Structure 1
């Protein structure tokens, strides 16, 4: 009876130990991240931008699409950042534009992380001809001029928020696939994976429950930088007139006003605020990515 009770308690203690180890690991990663001052600053700035996007209806002083009689007016008490060329309040449009830019960044990255992770895991785990086919497809995608292909696809599909997210998501997966493949190639040779195969675990269970969780560090770091890249790409497309179309506001299409030398020299309130928001968002995300990379680097974990 004593042995039976002891055997019943063994799995419980093992699970408690595993949970304790995971909690300790997460606490260690968090503490290392918090020691990275620029990463913490980036997290604060990015959190403020996200809150601005969420609370846009409450923070915006007026309707971002409402047209007033003041065209390209200077900043004043009525319009803190002035108005654009058709009389819309720039502060309101700037606040609502954060929703569009963050949607593009998060949406595109979510799509290509899923695609890249699945393809990379298949290539690394199965190897042989599957690996060869997937990697050759990856090489083909990476050999095309990225911006040119995006411009062609967006022009064919039509410039819109959904199309930009889809195009960026479908073209951004190769780097993730190569990272995941390399991680899977090394992890699948470890003893616990071989033990799972010997015990008869199914392939999806081995890959998704035992291998991919150990690949999350490089995936998260790459995804963080990918959000910043997607925001810049959306701003570039919108600046060229191939992105989000007016009257919908995005930081990129607000910068189209800067194509005029007159605006650049005499109406800086039209282009400096969206430019600063892009700069702050990208820097904040990059700082967070640097801190996350340093915190999760196995070579420096103690």
Structure 2
């Protein structure tokens, strides 16, 4: 005597349950987002840093409309002190310092953001692959990472730049290609712990593809540390670009960058009696780096799960 087959209802009740579950997931995600925003807003220095970086970005984007003069045009007033006509004076060749300072923001922000995008992309991919697959793949990637980290970064950058030639794009690519090691080790460590979680093991058991597991389930959970590291990377890249340009191996004149504007400060006369030639670009480097570091501190505190109440 066989048992009667059970009937599974597939009416509107199941659809309603799925809709409610999806709505609850959206509410949880929105709640987490606003919790992060609330924690970030509590960090006053981070909010101030974000405001400064937004202003600098707008200045860089709208530089042709904001700059009072052409940054490459010779005015005829050489080494002129600040005046009502030239607010920050002129340099040795008679170019307006304020206009060059505004255009230099484009270069410094482009180097900072562009190089970090490259380094974070490379480091994230290598870290995901290394941590997830393990074995000989992990060993090879980590030994390559150790080799890159064993060299002094600035010296390695100087050697590579001197070989390929100094230019804006070369500086961006070199800083990006040589700055991925920290991100790779950070992501690898996070993946090693995450792949032991039950939901990852369940995904593997269900036969989900490796790219789907890596990019849909693991990567979103390591984005917090990546974002924090990226903000500090932007500050480091701005400083490295300024150092390279100061040494003559970065962005080349007549293109203005905050670093090559400081090159004139090598003269004792400029340091003592022509402060308008080096104080403004030096202050812009300090302000931008501090702002980015404050943003990184705010993100680190906001994304820390222990800080949620």
TM-score by length of 1: 0.98
Structure 2 equivalent of residue 78 of structure 1? 85
For 1:107 and 1:40, locate their aligned partners in 2 and report how far apart those are by CA, in whole Å: 23
Per the alignment, residue 296 of structure 2 pairs with 289
SS at match of 1:134: helix
Shift of 1:3: 4.9
For the pair 1:240 / 2:251, whether they are aligned, the reply is: no
Q: Which whole-Å CA distance do the structure 1 matches of 2:119 and 2:170 have between them?
A: 14
**Superposition deviation, residue 51 in structure 1:** 1.0
Over residues 51-85 of structure 1, what are the superposed CA-to-partner deviations in whole Å (9 max), with x where a residue is unaligned?
11111111100100000111110001111000000
DSSP 3-state at the match of 1:69: coil
**Runs of 4 or more off by more than 3 Å in structure 1?**
none
SS in 1 for 2:269: helix
- Correspondence for 1:251: 258
**1:108-166 Cα shifts (integer Å, max 9, x gaps):** 00000000000000010000111111000000000001111101111111100000000
Deviation at 1:2, TM superposition (A): 6.7
Q: Which residue of 1 aligns with 2:12?
A: 5
Counterpart-to-counterpart distance in 2, 1:102 and 1:11: 45
Q: Tell me, in whole angstroms, the C-alpha distance in 1 between the residues paired with 2:239 and 2:193.
A: 34
1:88-127 correspondence to structure 2 within 5 Å: 88-127=95-134
Give 1:18 deviation, angstroms. Answer: 1.0
Q: Report the counterpart of residue 160 of structure 1 in structure 2.
A: 167
CA–CA separation in structure 1 for the residues paired with 2:18 and 2:143: 45
Work out the CA distance in 2 between the residues paired with 1:244 and 1:274: 14
Pair 1:190-2:212 in alignment: no
Once the two structures are superposed, what CA deviation does each residue of 1:151-201 show, in whole Å capped at 9, x if it has no partner? 111111110000000000000000000000000011111111111111110
Query: Aligned ranges for residues 1-302 of structure 1 at < 5 Å?
Result: 3-302=10-309
Indicate the larger mover: 8-17 or 208-217: 8-17
CA distance in 1, matches of 2:41, 2:141: 38
CA distance in 2, matches of 1:64, 1:95: 9
C-alpha RMSD over aligned residues? 1.0
* Partner SS for 1:299: helix
Q: Give the superposition deviation at 1:45.
A: 1.0
SS in 1 for 2:305: coil
Normalising by structure 2, report the TM-score: 0.96
Shift of 1:300: 1.9
* CA deviation map 1:244-269 (0-9, x unaligned): 00000000000001000010001000
Shift of residue 46, structure 1, vs aligned partner: 1.1
Number of residues of Structure 1 aligned to a counterpart in Structure 2: 302
Shift of 1:5: 1.1
From the CA coordinates, give the structure whose radius of gyration is larger: 2
Moved more, 41-50 or 223-232: 41-50
